[in-house]
Structure 1
Amino acid sequence: MQCKVCEIGCEINEHSRGRCGTYVKKGGSIIQSPEIGYMGGYPISVETIPMLHFHPSAKFLQVFSTGCNFECQGCVARLLASNRSFGWPTLSPTQVVAKALEQECQGVVSTLNEPAANYYIFRELAVQAKENSLLVGCSTNCYFTEETLEELGGLIDFVNVGVKGYSNSIYRTCGAKSSTPVFRNIAGLLEMGVHVETSVVYSRRNEADVLQAARTLSKVSSEIPLQLMRFIPFGDTPLEQEPSIGDAERLCRAIREHMDHVYLFNSPGTELLHTYCPQCGSLLAEREFHGPMGCRLLKPWTDYACRCGHNVQVKGTAASENFSEAGFMGGYRISRAFGMVHAALICMGIFDEGKLLEVWREVSDAETLMKMHRLIQQPCSYLEFIRLIAKKAGAEHQGEELSSFIGKRMESVLSLAAENSDHSVYYCMGSPLFALNAGRMENNLVTFAGGKSINKVLQREGKPGVNVSPAFINEHNPQTIFISGFLSRPLDEFYGLCRYYGIEADAVKEQRVYVIPPIWDFGSPRWILGLLYIADKIHPGKLGIDIKKEADEFYRRFYGMSFEDASPNRSFHRPSSSGWPGHMMECTHA
């Protein structure tokens, strides 16, 4: 039988569960596979979904299941969303609704995996949620058939549509046929009264395609909020596909010729998360970066009318204060926690994805996730994190080998730290005005290396940091500035922004601003290389270690490749290389 949920139209029979891997044939019908349920439920702010023009700051229960009808390059949640039976307890729609009510959420929202893969349980969830006066929404690639969309439109209140691009060729790289159903369905949902926002992926050199997607959306409605998602390369995707934040900001300004509200994500410190009046340009709502693919309002947004008289289209009333998710809870942070577990296992020589999922099942409860979040913030406690994951994997020997390697390098840095240097350091991410939280690993690496982190005086916290003023940086006058190895910005753009904002710290004047190599300072055991790098910059010529040789030893020992053969990317678990021992295995599941 042919599945009618989405336009791919898989054949479902005794030999095939379809692209999603979640449907089975029973008699003369296609049903949801009986083991499918919701694998997690976490309270989140609506801006974490992200939704920016729908009930600002409202609290929702985020749920996700398994399966996807697309096969996109660089997916941020590939393994979490893939078609596997994890064997752990799942939540039924009834339990999800009960959890949402218990935690006083305004509604429920399906994210991380594609709801088309669990359409029948999502439909059941939506019906039960509505019966309990809860709002319902989802993040989706919106590749539904017209038949499914007609039913879906009557069940949901809001949707964030992930638009891969305009051209059919881009959709074919995801295993779909064309972009036509997506734009057709966006128009259909709007006609049915569903609040629609769009997330459009921007990778380097596809500017023309993004602009054409925006022009096509504008023909449906120029008032649809467009979220430009700057492509971050995970897996085997090369770093060259990542556009700079500056390039993305310029593209956003070009898109504003067609769309009223354009926002830029994956770009800490950008001013393009704010809402501006499309008529007069006045600032109406201020936001800051708040974790992977999320943001938060800096103050409540309750008045949607501009002083010029223009009314911004926002659906629903605003909450009086923000809800802030703890630790790894909520949004795409759960995928970051998953990546960190994966990173530790890879360095222990465990490449099997089945073992990874077994370990994840053991640590994905809220209590253990909070414990992990605490352990990964300090160099010494990170070794406890390694031992925790090693024990869950039954790989204590490999865990001790990795811990020993890191511990010996830590000892070499401690002698320099004993000098009690007053060398002041500022640590930012993406923009000079986005400061990493005082307690994060990056700032603790600075302290461990004997530097004085000016971030430690920050009183406010965000995820992973907060916006600061140029005056804060000038007042504390750092001698060295480090830019995060996760979300960075080219130095020429960075210095240009310093000039624009009037940042005149010694680090800028003396050009002591350094971009940490990708994922050398957080999320992966490679942070030990970041510690050596930081110590070398704080204590020039005193470390007595060749960083490149250390990197080569680490990469050969724990990744089975030379440092020169490794292609940098933003993945926590490993750099990219066709010679990596787990490469062929991973590609078979891509």
Structure 2
Amino acid sequence: MQCNICEVRCEIGGCSMGRCGAYVCTGDNIAQCPGMGYLGAYPISIEAVPLLHYYPSGKFLQVFSTGCNFQCPGCMARVLASSRPLNQLALKPSQIVEKALQQNCLGVVSTMNEPAANYYLFRNLAVKAKEQGLLAGCSTNCYFTEETLEELGQLVDFMNVGIKGYSDRSYMNCGVPSSAPVFRNLSKLFDMGVHVETSIVYSRGNEEEMIKVAEAVAEISPTIPLQVMRFLPFGYAPMELEPSIGEAEKLCSSLRKHVDYVYLFNSPGTELLGTYCSECGSPLIEREFQEFMGSRFVKVSYKCGCGNSIPVKGTTANESFSETGFMDGHRVVQAFRMVHAVLTCLDIRDDKLVDFWMDDKLMDVWREVSDTRTLIHIHKMTQQPHSYLDFIELVAKKANVPKKGGKLVSFIRSRLEIVQNIAAEDEGCKKAYYCMGSPLFALNAERMENNLVTLSGGISINKQLQKKGKPGVNVSPAFINEHNPEAIFISSFLSRPLNEFYELCQKYGIHADAVKKRQVYAVPAAWDFGNPRWILGLLYITDKLHPGKLGIDLKEEADDFYMQFYGMRFKEAMPNRSFHRPSSGIWPRHAMRCTHA
């Protein structure tokens, strides 16, 4: 029987549950897979969806489940998109609405996985939310059929539509034949009065596609916000496809010739998270990077001196809601990836499977640690080098592989002792500054990266910061110059090429010793946070702060770690932004599998 929820139009029946793995055939009907529900419900600020022109700073309950009808390379939410339903963790729509009301949320929003994979579930949620006076919306690839969209458009108040590109080729890369349904649906939603914002991933080389998308959106309405996400290679895609923040900023300037409001995400320190007047270009709203997919207000003005106003729907909250620890969907996925990273080093790997679904062992461990109390505990453990060892032992215990956990802990502990001895013997402590993406975006004082600096005998000037934020806060050039760090480290996650970094230092008037002596260091990818490779990052930092004292060949040390815990040599590994493992450059069988509609 054909499923008509999305334009993939899978045949459902027998053993087939469709591409998204979420539907079954029951007689003459297609139904949601039995037991399907939401894996989590966490209050977030609406900017984390992300939506920037809708109830600014409003508190919404974010929900997510499993499954997706697309197969996008480098998907940051692959662990959810490719997972099967987890009945044991399922929350039903009535429970979600009750939670939203209890926590004084304005509404509910489905994110992280594709709502087309849970359409009947989401439809039920939207109806129940409306009955209680709540707003309802989602982030989606918007590949719905016309008949589905006609119904859905009557139920939702807002959507973030993720556009993959303008050409059919860009959609073929995600396993579907055409881009036409997306632009058709976007136009229909706008005409129906649904608040829509769009997002698109920018990878190096697809600049023409980006321009064509902006032109197509402008034809519907130039007031529809366009959010640009820099492509980050989480999976098997090469690092060369990741544009620098500077390259993305230049592209955004070109896109503004077509649409009125263009925003640049996952780029700490950029000024392009702000809103500028579409008539005269004056800055009206200043925002700073809050997390991978979020932002927060610094300064707000909706009306320009020239008389032009920003089209924002809904009231602005008096106080911006801020989540703690891993308590929102994006950071829950980050916590999942951290668990995944340790399990990979313990030789429990999803790439050994021939099946498309995630490893049952991984999901079993996730069930054991995904309650709120344990997630808060994990957040604390993963910020300190020594307590991270407790995190490894926790995961190894839940996975029933304590001996393998002990081997990993032993490797890390022996290197910790080496670093601590060097720090104790070398009296020449250097001041260091840790930033992410921009010299003006400082990582928070309590984060793991700054604790690595302290453990290696450095003096982290970030510890002077009182401001809180995730994962950091904007600082002034004066802060850096006054504390005068002798070394600057750029985060390995959202980084910036050294040539761009030095250019920004000149632009901002940063003249600390680290800049003058060219002692700014880009930490190797995934070596300082989120996975056990931070021990290599610690050795890297120690070598820079204590030149000639480490007595370890870092390449040989990396080879040792990679062979023991990834089964490959360091020089054979392709760097990526994934927490769980570097890429071998060979796609696992389950990642290459073609799912037939």
Deviation, structure 1 residue 2: 1.1
Corresponding residue for 1:25?
25
Contact kept in structure 1, 2:429 and 2:459, CA below 8 Å = yes
Matched, 1:378 2:378: no
CA distance in 2, matches of 1:64, 1:587: 25
SS at match of 1:130: helix
Q: Which amino acid aligns with 1:422?
A: C
CA distance in 2, matches of 1:89, 1:380: 31
Corresponding residue for 2:325?
327
Relative distance call for 1:589 and 1:332 in structure 2 (3 A) is farther
Deviation, structure 1 residue 587: 4.4
Relative distance call for 1:585 and 1:405 in structure 2 (3 A) is farther
Deviation, structure 1 residue 584: 3.8
Contact kept in structure 2, 1:48 and 1:296, CA below 8 Å = no
Corresponding residue for 1:123?
123
Corresponding residue for 1:424?
431
Unaligned runs of 5+ in 1: none
Corresponding residue for 1:392?
398
SS at match of 1:489: coil
Deviation, structure 1 residue 402: 0.0
CA distance in 2, matches of 1:328, 1:586: 28
Contact kept in structure 1, 2:286 and 2:298, CA below 8 Å = yes
SS at match of 2:322: coil
Corresponding residue for 1:517?
524
Contact kept in structure 1, 2:231 and 2:243, CA below 8 Å = yes
Matches within 5 A, 1:102-113: 102-113=102-113
Backbone CA RMSD of aligned residues? 1.2
Corresponding residue for 2:149?
149
Deviation, structure 1 residue 473: 0.6
Deviation, structure 1 residue 589: 8.9
Matched, 1:538 2:537: no
Match of 1:317 among 315, 340, 345: 315
Relative distance call for 1:585 and 1:351 in structure 2 (3 A) is farther
Contact kept in structure 2, 1:42 and 1:329, CA below 8 Å = yes
Q: Which amino acid aligns with 2:523?
A: I
Matched, 1:449 2:448: no
SS at match of 1:338: helix
Matched, 1:494 2:492: no
Corresponding residue for 1:138?
138
CA distance in 2, matches of 1:305, 1:87: 48
CA offsets 1:347-368 (integer angstroms, 9 cap, x no match): 1111142111111111111111
CA distance in 2, matches of 1:140, 1:18: 18
Corresponding residue for 1:84?
84
Deviation, structure 1 residue 330: 1.0
Deviation, structure 1 residue 24: 1.1
CA offsets 1:266-317 (integer angstroms, 9 cap, x no match): 1111000001111111111111111111111124x4x522111001110000
Percent of matched pairs sharing the same residue: 63
CA distance in 1, matches of 2:88, 2:492: 34
Q: Which amino acid aligns with 1:405?
A: F
Q: Which amino acid aligns with 2:113?
A: N
Corresponding residue for 2:67?
67
Relative distance call for 1:579 and 1:397 in structure 2 (3 A) is farther
CA offsets 1:89-115 (integer angstroms, 9 cap, x no match): 311110000000001111000000100
Corresponding residue for 1:570?
577
Q: Which amino acid aligns with 2:543?
A: D
TM-score (norm: length of structure 1): 0.98
Matches within 5 A, 1:118-517: 118-299=118-299, 301=300, 303-352=301-350, 353-418=359-424, 419-517=426-524
CA offsets 1:449-471 (integer angstroms, 9 cap, x no match): 00000000000011110111111
CA distance in 1, matches of 2:495, 2:47: 22
SS at match of 2:570: coil
CA distance in 2, matches of 1:371, 1:216: 46
Contact kept in structure 1, 2:37 and 2:87, CA below 8 Å = no
CA distance in 1, matches of 2:97, 2:483: 49
Contact kept in structure 2, 1:41 and 1:62, CA below 8 Å = yes
CA distance in 2, matches of 1:185, 1:587: 29
CA offsets 1:401-458 (integer angstroms, 9 cap, x no match): 0000000000000012113543100000000010000000000000000000000000
Contact kept in structure 2, 1:422 and 1:451, CA below 8 Å = yes
- 282-291 vs 385-394, which moves further: 282-291
Contact kept in structure 1, 2:36 and 2:87, CA below 8 Å = no
Contact kept in structure 2, 1:228 and 1:265, CA below 8 Å = yes
Q: Which amino acid aligns with 2:337?
A: G
CA distance in 2, matches of 1:173, 1:356: 28
SS at match of 1:485: coil
Corresponding residue for 1:41?
41
CA distance in 1, matches of 2:407, 2:85: 32
| Count of matched residue positions in the alignment of Structure 1 and Structure 2 | 586
Q: Which amino acid aligns with 2:26?
A: K
CA distance in 2, matches of 1:584, 1:7: 26
Q: Which amino acid aligns with 2:309?
A: N
SS at match of 2:19: coil
CA distance in 2, matches of 1:359, 1:218: 46
CA offsets 1:544-568 (integer angstroms, 9 cap, x no match): 1111110010011111111110000
CA distance in 2, matches of 1:264, 1:73: 21
CA offsets 1:18-38 (integer angstroms, 9 cap, x no match): 111111111111111122111
SS at match of 1:200: strand
Relative distance call for 1:337 and 1:211 in structure 2 (3 A) is same
CA distance in 1, matches of 2:220, 2:135: 24
CA distance in 1, matches of 2:185, 2:201: 18
CA distance in 1, matches of 2:76, 2:254: 27
Deviation, structure 1 residue 81: 2.4
CA offsets 1:333-389 (integer angstroms, 9 cap, x no match): 121111111110111111142111111111111111110000000110000000000
Contact kept in structure 1, 2:89 and 2:367, CA below 8 Å = no
Contact kept in structure 2, 1:294 and 1:331, CA below 8 Å = no
Q: Which amino acid aligns with 1:179?
A: S
CA distance in 1, matches of 2:21, 2:80: 13
CA distance in 1, matches of 2:542, 2:594: 39
Deviation, structure 1 residue 509: 0.4
Give the 4+ runs in structure 1 shifted more than 6 A.
none
SS at match of 1:529: helix
Contact kept in structure 1, 2:434 and 2:443, CA below 8 Å = yes
Unaligned runs of 5+ in 2: 351-358
TM-score (norm: length of structure 2): 0.97
CA distance in 2, matches of 1:356, 1:241: 29
CA distance in 1, matches of 2:591, 2:223: 41
Relative distance call for 1:586 and 1:172 in structure 2 (3 A) is closer
